[in-house]
Structure 1
Amino acid sequence: MNVLLLLLILSFASTIQCDIHTNRIEDTLSTEANDTNTLCKDHLQVPEKVRIDLYYESLCPYCKQFYVKELAPVVQKLMNYIELYTYPFGHAQMKKNDNKTTFECQHGPTECYGNGLHACAIQYLPKMSEYVPFNTCLMEKWSTDKDAEQCGQRLHLNAEPIRTCANSDEAINLVIYYAQETEKLKNMSYVPYTVINHKVMDPETDLIDSVCATFEKPPQECKK
């Protein structure tokens, strides 16, 4: 009886350890964490995930098309198999004068505001299943306050905190973060700029094909 109890305790402890390391993988991309995930995957049946990083601008025509026609369908189809990080900044420039931060955007001040609106949506709709449809709706329009209100109504989401954020210093601080993350890229010469599992995606290929080709064992959704 004691031996059986000991085996049950050891089995439970093993499960807890795998759970802990699995959570670490969602927050970090270290080699050690990924190695641990491989060891635990069979035990917990954790789905393999592909990381997507998208750098874009709110009014760039190509970005709008990519977000609506490629990113949104991939998120809808492969939501359980991807980790998505989006950076609404693109080729904007950040300037600091007298402790004040300002931005200059390729498509003017309206785009700078739109970038902030997108950043606030990501902040206040942290679930990928919420902020991607919301920002997709904005990309179908012009990323204005009115558009945010209409997108909120369409998706049955409260857009007021997002609009309030976009009209405050909070948006500036969020965009500063996305500017700093974008500046870490050394060779971003175009947008939308997509990185899949730390490798730059060929802009001539479809996102769904590139993501599915990255899996070691593609999920059934890739075969449909």
Structure 2
Amino acid sequence: MYVSLIFSTILVFYIHGGLAINCPKSPAKWCDNKNIAKACGVIEQCNKYVWKVRDMNDRVNLSIYYETLCPDCRQFITTQVWNAYQSILSIVNISFVPYGNAREIYRPETKLYQFYCQHGADECYGNMIHTCVIYLYPNTTDHLPFIYCTESTEGDVGTVAEQCAEKTTVDFDKVSACVQSRLGNQLQHVYAAQTDNLKPPHQYVPWVTVNGEHTEDMEQEAEKDLIGLICKTYKVI
């Protein structure tokens, strides 16, 4: 009697000396583990909509606030961030916020924002290019190689961006159209607001947050050993 109650949802029995599992009546239990999912014929669905999402939520959330022509930002992205991307992408979500120490002024006559950047107009252009690439190619594996290429290549901002687009999956015509549009302007404003609302306020770039937090110790460790910092933070309870 008690045995039948315990296994009223999942019926377990032996067949040819092995353990077999029947599919539970409740769909909420179908993705509890791979054996149950297999019995229910929903392995693919569980992997796509439950297990993968759960895995993404377990990842470390790394955000990098930077500006495209900042030497320290370029060094950090092309070494520490690039190495982390190549080695431990499965445990980290990497987000780029290309704005840095810029400032913005709203122009009511044009209903657009005008941006002023620490390293001049070329940097504002570079920030906008990165902003549009991230928007048009939201997957890290699509936009990070482009960002790495532009940050590791010296030269005219537009020319370098076109060359890096040819080396990656980026369509520069689409990016250029975005940069010159109201959409691009608004996207950059969103990054401006995100940067200006950091707590604590950012004091320099690159500025790193891990799971939404920033400390000086964390920043120093990220710049010396980003992989170590992410691995140490991963699934910490």
Which category describes the TM-score, using the shorter chain as reference length? 0.7 to 0.9
State the shift of 1:56 in Å. 0.3
After superposition, residues 50-199 of structure 1 pair within 5 angstroms as 50-98=60-108, 99-141=111-153, 144-185=157-198, 186-199=200-213
Q: Which amino acid aligns with 2:29?
A: S
CA distance in 1, matches of 2:89, 2:79: 16
TM-score by length of 2: 0.73
Matched-pair contact (CA < 8 Å) for 1:47–1:81: no
Q: TM-score of the superposition, structure 1-length normalised?
A: 0.77
Secondary structure at 2:203 match in 1: coil
Return closer, same or farther for 1:203/1:4 CA change in 2, 3 Å cut-off. closer
Identity %: 29
Please name the residue that 2:220 is paired with: 203
- Please tell me the residue identity of whatever aligns with 1:9: P
Gaps of 5+ in 1: 27-36, 218-224
SS at match of 2:96: strand
Query: Which residue of structure 2 aligns with residue 213 of structure 1?
Result: 232
Unaligned runs of 5+ in 2: 1-7, 12-21, 34-45
**Matched residues in 1 for 2:59 and 2:25: separation?**
28
User: Does structure 2 retain, via aligned residues, the 8 Å contact 1:47–1:80?
Assistant: no
Structure with bigger helix share is: 1
Larger Rg: 2
Deviation at 1:125, TM superposition (A): 1.3
Q: What's the C-alpha RMSD, in Å, of the aligned pairs?
A: 3.0
State the distance in 2 between where 1:12 and 1:168 align.
46
The farther-off stretch of 112-121 and 163-172 is 163-172
Secondary structure of residue in 2 paired with 1:206: helix
Is the deviation greater in 117-126 or in 202-211? Answer: 202-211
**Contact 2:133/2:170 (8 A) holds in 1:** no
Following TM superposition, by how much is the alpha carbon of 1:172 offset from its aligned partner in structure 2, in angstroms?
0.9
Deviation at 1:216, TM superposition (A): 3.3
Q: Which amino acid in the other structure matches residue 99 of structure 2?
A: F
Q: Distance in 1 between matches of 2:134 and 2:79?
A: 19
Aligned mates of 2:76, 2:177 — CA distance in 1? 27
